[in-house]
Structure 1
Amino acid sequence: MGMGRYLPGLLLALGVAQGAWAERIGEVSTVFKWVGPNDKIVVEAFDDPKVEGVTCYLSRAKTGGIKGGVGLAEDRAEVSVACRQVGPIRFKEPLKEGEEVFKERTSLIFKTMQVVRFHDKARNTLVYLAYSDRVIEGSPQNAVTAIPILPWR
């Protein structure tokens, strides 16, 4: 039996085979590195998988240098999120409170950044919370955005 049977589990453990996907919108360099890529702030977009008509934009730091270039660096915990209505809002299936809508690893194995969704029914609003966590301890750094559910133009 070859290593091929262990590869999917290894990739999942390393966070490589996650379902999250964000489209890179742009980036700016913040620190010049002589070797490897520069430290950057990247802006990415993703659509809510269960709510049609909602797109979220994330800005976050990406560590450069040699470790960052090969995927071994740990990115900072800070993240900013802004979600917007980009079309008629339609729920594709029932929503769960605090449901994860986006997740991406920010270190080799121990740290992730994620976005979860809440439905504030009393105010007819979708609320998105972005935060970072770590296996041992998380970070209080977070960002929140809200979208009132309104008729589309």
Structure 2
Amino acid sequence: MKRTKVVALILLMTSGMVHAQKIGSVDTVFKFIGPDHKIVVEAYDDPKVKGVTCYVSRAKTGGIKGGLGLAEDKAEASISCRQVGAISFEKPLKQQEEVFNQSLSILFKKLRIVRMVDVERNTLVYLTYSDKLIEGSPQNSVTAVPVDRQLAIPLK
């Protein structure tokens, strides 16, 4: 019974997460023990906007702690979202909504990507930043994907 509750809790916690596809990485610092420090590039398909993919580059800490998954990655990321196919919307979008998040430390730090709709310009704006339970980081990156004026972005 206890095991079932734990499995259910894990499934509930991960059900809303969107998994990134790793595109590649480059080493930035050689480590004698454990993996090197890296910059990784990952792709995220917007789950509510078909035809838009966001590419995020971020620091990934290596060494012993990084290899064990105990390191806290830096709050530095860059984002570039692009139209990669015909854009379509299954449902109306919220004016502002978190569409992706990824843990940067074992407990308290997350990389977040928020989609905002610029109605006047018919554009999707994506912002990436990190936050921490106690104190977040003001470092951020923004990108925009214009949508053809013939296709109005539906809002809730």
Alpha-carbon distance in structure 1 between the residues aligned to 2:87 and 2:111: 25
> Please, what TM-score do these two structures have when normalized by structure 1?
0.90
Task: Return the offset for 1:17.
Answer: 6.5
* Residue number among 127, 130, 136 corresponding to 1:129 in the alignment: 127
Stretches of structure 2 that go unaligned for 5 or more consecutive residues are 150-156
- Flag the 1:108–1:27 CA change in 2: closer, same or farther, 3 A: same
Task: Return the offset for 1:41.
Answer: 0.1
Alpha-carbon distance in structure 1 between the residues aligned to 2:102 and 2:49: 20
1:149 counterpart residue number: 147
Count of aligned positions? 150
* Residue number among 96, 106, 110 corresponding to 1:112 in the alignment: 110
Q: Which runs of 4 or more aligned residues in structure 1 lie more than 6 Å from their structure 2 counterparts after TM superposition?
A: none
Alpha-carbon distance in structure 1 between the residues aligned to 2:87 and 2:15: 29
Alpha-carbon distance in structure 1 between the residues aligned to 2:136 and 2:27: 26
The question of whether the paired residues in 2 share the 8 Å contact of 1:124 and 1:148 is answered with yes
Q: Which amino acid aligns with 2:5?
A: R
Percentage of pairs with the same residue: 59
- Mapping 1:1-153, distance limit 5 Å: 1-9=1-9, 11=10, 19-150=17-148
Alpha-carbon distance in structure 2 between the residues aligned to 1:18 and 1:74: 22
Alpha-carbon distance in structure 1 between the residues aligned to 2:63 and 2:72: 11
Stretches of structure 1 that go unaligned for 5 or more consecutive residues are none
Q: Which amino acid aligns with 1:113?
A: L
The question of whether the paired residues in 2 share the 8 Å contact of 1:36 and 1:64 is answered with yes
Task: Return the offset for 1:8.
Answer: 4.3
CA root-mean-square deviation: 2.0
The question of whether the paired residues in 2 share the 8 Å contact of 1:12 and 1:18 is answered with no
> Please, what TM-score do these two structures have when normalized by structure 2?
0.88
Could you give the per-residue CA deviations for residues 112-146 of structure 1, whole angstroms, max 9, x where no partner exists? Answer: 00101011010011000000000111110000000
Task: Return the offset for 1:70.
Answer: 1.0
2:152 counterpart residue number: none
Alpha-carbon distance in structure 1 between the residues aligned to 2:138 and 2:52: 26
